[in-house]
């Protein structure tokens, strides 16, 4: 990493009022997202690769937290572990006070469906379905069907500012609009935790800001906890906190 990049990230973290001291980890599980001693090691024939090194982290309910860091530093790996998409080699993860690292696959799938909304960089929309059908499909997975699903999908698309685009296919939407459909999908079932991996990476600055403002509004109005991985320094001003990952070590 270059000295300039190091200085830039230092000043970003400081400008967000981040003393480089450790978070105060509470002894009870109070935070919405909590990692205790999370490690990820991958063993191949040639080498042992430690991707995450003893991560302790606590994100408070209703906060919007950004995780930054250079490419390959372990951000997606950590996010996937915190969302229950990947099992860590060591350590514990608690979401909304419940330990997910000891859940069975079925329990975890159910927990994820009810409590977590995940937003991907490349939107992950079904290309053959319209905006509203994409949201309805996500509702169907959560057991909401028929007219109720249609009504709810309509309301969610209105909430993300796409009331007039409900019948359009993804290919006829802009990047920012596609990402808003993806956010509407992630919001189905009213999750308390929203996680996003580089949600603004494919967007221009203006659309990126709109998407961030939308996520911030959700965090503040609905008490959702939002964790966003990003490379994008343009959206940092909308976060409550910024953490920084380097070589598998988390700094805050
Ligand atoms: N299944 C795997 N097998 C081997 N190495 C892996 C595996 N998954 C991740 N890695 C390695 O772990 C490191 C961290 O990867 P990760 O995708 O978490 O980084 P990142 O910070 O999200 O990077 P980017 O900003 O480019 O998305 C990288 O060096 C990557 O090559
Ligand atoms: Mg990544």
| Whole-number pLDDT of residue 229 | 95
**In a mutational test of the pocket of ligand 1, which residue from 75, 199, 227 has the highest number of ligand atoms less than 8 Å from its CB?**
75
Task: Please say if the pLDDT value at position 14 is more than 60.
Answer: no
Domain that includes residue 28, residue range: 3-251
Local confidence band at 174 (pLDDT 50, 70, 90 cut-offs): very high
Q: What is the pLDDT of residue 123?
A: 86
Residue 12 or 199, more confident: 199
**Mean pLDDT computed over 142-163:** 94
- Distance from the alpha carbon of residue 111 to the mean position of ligand 2, in angstroms: 24
**pLDDT for the residue 211:** 83
- What is the rounded average pLDDT for all residues in the chain? 88
Q: How confident is the model at residue 218 (pLDDT cuts 50, 70, 90)?
A: confident
Nearest CA to ligand 1 atom 7: 42
Q: Alpha-carbon distance 214 to 225, whole Å?
A: 13
Q: How far is CA 73 from CA 68, 150, 168, 198, 229, in A?
A: 9, 41, 37, 14, 12
All residues with CB under 5 Å from ion ligand 2: 76
Split into its structural domains, the chain has a count of 1
CATH assignment of the domain containing 161: 3.40.50.300
Q: Is the pLDDT reported for residue 13 higher than 60?
A: no
Which residue minimizes the CA distance to atom 3 of ligand 1?
Answer: 42
77 lines ligand 1 (CB under 6 A): yes
Q: The whole model's pTM is what?
A: 0.86
């Amino acid at each position: 990493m270059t000295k300039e990049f190091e200085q830039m990230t230092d000043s970003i973290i400081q400008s967000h009022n981040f003393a480089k001291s450790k978070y105060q980890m509470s002894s009870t599980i109070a935070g919405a997202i909590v990692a205790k001693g999370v490690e990820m090691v991958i063993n191949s024939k040639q080498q042992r690769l430690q991707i995450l090194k003893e991560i302790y982290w606590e994100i408070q309910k209703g906060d919007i937290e950004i995780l930054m860091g250079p490419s390959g530093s372990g951000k997606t790996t950590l996010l996937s572990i915190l969302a229950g998409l990947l099992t860590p080699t060591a350590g514990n993860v608690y979401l909304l006070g419940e330990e997910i690292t000891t859940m069975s696959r079925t329990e975890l799938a159910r927990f994820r469906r009810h409590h977590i909304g995940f937003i991907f960089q490349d939107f992950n929309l079904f290309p053959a379905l319209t905006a509203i059908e994409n949201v309805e499909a996500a509702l169907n997975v959560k057991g909401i069907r028929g007219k109720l699903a249609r009504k709810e999908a309509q309301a969610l698309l209105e909430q993300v500012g796409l009331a007039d685009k409900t019948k359009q296919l993804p290919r006829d939407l802009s990047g920012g609009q596609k990402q808003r459909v993806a956010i509407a999908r992630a919001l189905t079932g009213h999750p308390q935790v929203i996680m996003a991996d580089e949600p603004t990476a494919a967007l221009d600055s203006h659309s990126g800001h709109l998407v961030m403002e939308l996520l911030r509004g959700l965090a503040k109005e609905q008490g959702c906890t939002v964790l966003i991985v990003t490379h994008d320094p343009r959206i940092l001003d909308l976060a409550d906190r910024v953490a920084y990952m380097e070589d598998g070590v988390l700094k805050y």
